Amino acid sequence: MGSRWNVDGVLSMSEIPAEFADFVKSKQQQLAINVLSSAAAGVVLANLAALFAGDASLVMLGETVRAALPLIALAVIASFGAGAVRR
pLDDT per residue over 66-82, tens digit each?
888 888 888 878 777 76
For 1-87, list the strands marked E by DSSP.
Answer: none
pLDDT of residue 60: 78
Please enumerate in sequence order all residues whose Cβ is within 8 A of that of 71, keeping only pairs 6 or more positions apart, or say none.
39
pLDDT of residue 4: 54
- Count of CA atoms in the C-beta half-sphere (13 A) of 11: 2
| Domain ranges across the chain | 26-82
pLDDT of residue 67: 84
Amino acid letter for position 25: K
How far apart are the C-alpha atoms of 49 and 87, rounded to whole Å? 35
Supply the pTM of this predicted model: 0.55
CB 81 within 8 A of CB 28: no
Average confidence score pLDDT of the chain: 75
